[in-house]
Amino acid sequence: MVVGELTQERDLVILGGGPAGYTAAIRASQLGRKVTLIEQAQLGGLCLNKGCIPSKVVAHAADIKQQMNHMSALGFSFNPTHDFSQLAEYRERTIRQLRTGVESLCQANAIEVVHGTASFLADDRIGVELGHQFDTYRFNDVVIATGSHSIEQDSPSVLNAEQLYQLSELPERLVIIGQDYIAIEAAMSFQALGTSVTLIADTFGLDPSLEKELRRLFKKQKIQLVTGTVTAIEADGEVTVTVVKQGQETTWSAPFLFQSLPRVPHTLELGLERIGVTLAEDGTIPVDPFGQTNRPHIYAIGDVTTGPAIATRAIHEAKRTAEHLAGQLADPTVPYYPTIIRSLPPIVSIGLTEQAATDAGHSIRTGQFALNANGATMIEAGSGFIKVISDATTTLILGIHMIGEGAVELAGVFSQALELHAKEEDVRFPVMPHPSRNEAWTEAVESLLGQAIHLPPRQQDVLTKS
Q: What is the pLDDT of residue 236?
A: 85
Q: Model's pTM, two decimal places? A: 0.94
* Torsion 389-210-402-200 (CA) sign: positive
CA distance 56 to 22: 21
- Amino acid at residue number 444: A
Nearest to 207 by CA among 67, 418, 356: 356
3-state secondary structure at position 233:
strand
- Taking the C-alpha atoms of residue 325 and residue 327, their distance in angstroms, rounded to an integer, is 5
pLDDT at 255: 97
The whole-number pLDDT of residue 464 equals 55
Q: In degrees, to the nearest 5, what angle opens at C-alpha 396 toward C-alphas 394 and 399? A: 140
**Which of 115, 132, 401, 434 is labelled catalytic?**
434
Q: Does 434 qualify as catalytic in the annotation?
A: yes
Q: Using alpha carbons, list the distances in angstroms from residue 316 to 30, 149, 189, 301, 322.
A: 16, 20, 28, 9, 10
What is the Cα–Cα distance from 421 to 335, expressed in whole angstroms?
A: 12
Element (H, E) at 50: helix 45-50
Radius of gyration for the alpha carbons in the chain, expressed in angstroms and rounded: 24
pLDDT at 3: 61
Contact 195, 254 (CB under 8 A): no
Sequential pLDDT tens for the chain (466 residues): 566 558 999 999 999 999 999 999 999 999 999 999 999 999 999 999 999 999 999 999 999 999 988 998 899 988 888 999 999 999 999 999 999 999 999 999 999 999 999 999 999 999 999 999 999 999 999 999 999 999 888 899 999 999 999 999 999 999 999 999 999 999 999 999 999 999 999 999 999 999 999 999 999 999 999 999 999 999 988 999 999 999 999 999 999 999 998 899 999 999 999 999 999 999 999 999 999 999 999 999 999 999 999 999 999 999 999 999 999 999 999 999 999 999 999 999 999 999 999 999 999 999 999 999 999 999 999 999 999 999 999 999 999 999 999 999 999 999 999 999 999 999 999 999 999 999 999 999 999 999 999 999 887 755 556 5
Q: Which amino acid is at 6?
A: L
Q: What are the chain's domains? A: 2-150+264-325 (3.50.50.60), 158-259 (3.50.50.60), 345-461 (3.30.390.30)
Beta-sheet pairing, 347-351 with 339-341 = antiparallel
- Strand 264-265 to strand 256-259: parallel, antiparallel, or no bridges (unpaired)? unpaired
Continuous segment of H or E residues that includes residue 464: strand 463-465
Asked if 170 contacts 84 with a C-beta cutoff of 8 angstroms, the reply is: yes
Q: Per-residue DSSP letters for 421-434?
A: T-BHHHHHSS---S
In this predicted structure, what is the pLDDT of residue 461?
58
How distant is the alpha carbon of residue 10 from its chain centre? 33
Model pLDDT, residue 45: 94
**3-state class of 377 per DSSP?**
helix
Q: What pLDDT, on a 0 to 100 scale, did the predictor assign at position 432?
A: 95
- From 266, 320, 314, select the one nearest 289 (Cα to Cα): 320
Query: Is-contact 255 241, C-beta < 8 A?
Result: no
Give the largest Cα separation in the chain, rounded.
Answer: 79
Q: How far is CA 177 from CA 40, 159, 186, 188, in A?
A: 31, 11, 11, 13
Beta strand pairing call for 196-200 and 224-226: parallel
Alpha carbon 400 to its chain's center: 18
Question: CA-to-CA distance for 95 and 166, rounded, in angstroms?
Answer: 12
